Amino acid sequence: MAEAADNKPAEGAAAEAVPLEPIVKKKMIEAGHAGAHGGAWKIALADMMTAMMAFFLLMWLLGATTEDQRKSIADYFKPMSHSMANVSKLAGVGGMMGGNSITDPDGMPYAGQQTSLFERETPRLEGGKQSGAGDSKDEKNDMNPSELSEAEKQRIAAENDKKNFDKLEKEVKEKMQQNPQLDKIKDQVKFIREKDGLRIEVIDKADFSMFGLGNARMDGKAMTLIREVAKSVAGMPNKIAIRGHTDSLAYDDGVRSNWSLSGDRAESTRRIMEGAGIPEERFAKIEGVADTAPYIPNNPADPRNRRISITVQFQGGPGS
């Protein structure tokens, strides 16, 4: 019993001597919401804000512009080339074994046009020889230009110019008839043959003016008309002269006079034509003559004296 009593304190001491394990606390920290995609939301927000800005700008423009101005903006972004809808008509296109031969002169849907003094369209050959009358004339045109006399060159140039001018006048009139906007102002467009070439007069009247009062900003209808004229003239080799006119009513705001105003309007017309496809080197002369050449000489204050004259000059003429 004594021995058992002696062992009890020894066991208690042994129990007290065993070291306790430390308590470890583990904290789980969740990653933040932005950790999944970083700053990508900023790019998405910037894209959305840009789209909203563009949308509100478009709404503002639609509300701040007239129907004519919107039509002019739409015309500006129309492609200058032929519609792709006509591609199916090209040679060698359309269905299995469809289309015409690429070597067939009739294979292309658009007629060729003469663009220089001695350039000629290739005649369709049948049996190695051109069919029809006029062989002697074609043989003469096949001559080297250096072998032609000056009189023959002038004659050929005059014949080409007459054909081109007739075609130009007909084409512009047809475009005005087809466009409801231009049909309303067709009476204000005059075609005049003169010693320098074909002059196209775009004339103001009491209820319509090409430009705003005292400035060179062109009206939407007039801008559409000038672009159509430029497209018709683009395929011709002739030089172009533009002249601005005013009426006799004095205008001088300390910055512009009738002289500078007429010149600015001629330059504005040139810029519109250049934007429609006329290269800069085609322009021979740009000038403003104020009221010194009235369209209605008996009434210098008549609104019809305010006009733009576009002259398609003869080949070989002044400035050509």
* pLDDT in the model for residue 184: 81
* pLDDT in the model for residue 29: 65
Of 6-15, 130-139, 262-271, the poorest mean pLDDT is in 130-139
Read off the pLDDT of each residue in 47-76 and give the average, rounded to a whole number. Answer: 84
Nearest partner of 245 among 310, 318, 169, judged by Cα? 310
* pLDDT in the model for residue 69: 79
* pLDDT in the model for residue 259: 92
Angle 225-231-237 (CA atoms, 0-180°, nearest 5)?
A: 130
Q: CB count, 10 Å around CB of 299?
A: 13
Q: CB count, 10 Å around CB of 276?
A: 20
8 Å CB contact between 202 and 262:
no
Instruction: Report residue 166 CA to chain centroid gap.
Output: 25
Dump strand ranges (E) for 66-142.
Answer: 125-126, 129-130
Nearest partner of 228 among 279, 289, 272, 283, judged by Cα? 272
pLDDT tens digit sequence for 281-306: 999 999 999 999 999 999 999 999 99
* pLDDT in the model for residue 139: 45
Is the pLDDT at 51 greater than 70? The verdict is yes
pLDDT tens digit sequence for 224-256: 999 999 999 998 889 999 999 999 888 777 677
pLDDT tens digit sequence for 190-204: 999 998 899 999 999
Mean pLDDT of the chain: 75
Higher local confidence (pLDDT), 320 or 187: 187
Of 33-47, 192-206, 270-284, the poorest mean pLDDT is in 33-47
Q: Which residue's entry shows tokens 């110019």?
A: 161
Of 214-218, 255-259, 299-303, the poorest mean pLDDT is in 255-259
Phi then psi dihedrals of residue 249, to 5 deg: -65, 125
> For 155, how many CA atoms within 13 A lie in the half-sphere containing its CB?
8
Is the pLDDT at 104 greater than 70? The verdict is no
Phi then psi dihedrals of residue 75, to 5 deg: -65, -35
Q: Given pLDDT bands bounded at 50, 70 and 90, which one contains residue 34? A: low
Phi then psi dihedrals of residue 151, to 5 deg: -65, -40
Read off the pLDDT of each residue in 138-147 and give the average, rounded to a whole number. Answer: 55
* pLDDT in the model for residue 72: 77
Task: Report the SS3 class of residue 298.
Answer: coil
Segments making up each domain of the chain, as ranges: 149-313
Dump strand ranges (E) for the chain.
Answer: 125-126, 129-130, 189-194, 197-203, 240-245, 283-288, 307-313
8 Å CB contact between 291 and 315:
no
Is the pLDDT at 123 greater than 50? The verdict is no
Rounded CA gap, 98 and 11, in Å? 111
* pLDDT in the model for residue 146: 62
Higher local confidence (pLDDT), 308 or 146: 308
* pLDDT in the model for residue 12: 53
Read off the pLDDT of each residue in 17-33 and give the average, rounded to a whole number. Answer: 66
Looking at domain 149-313, its CATH class is alpha beta
Tokens found for residue 118: 């001695």
Rounded CA gap, 216 and 252, in Å? 14
* pLDDT in the model for residue 313: 92
* pLDDT in the model for residue 226: 93
* pLDDT in the model for residue 164: 86
Read off the pLDDT of each residue in 114-138 and give the average, rounded to a whole number. Answer: 42
Rounded CA gap, 11 and 64, in Å? 101
8 Å CB contact between 91 and 100:
yes
* pLDDT in the model for residue 199: 94
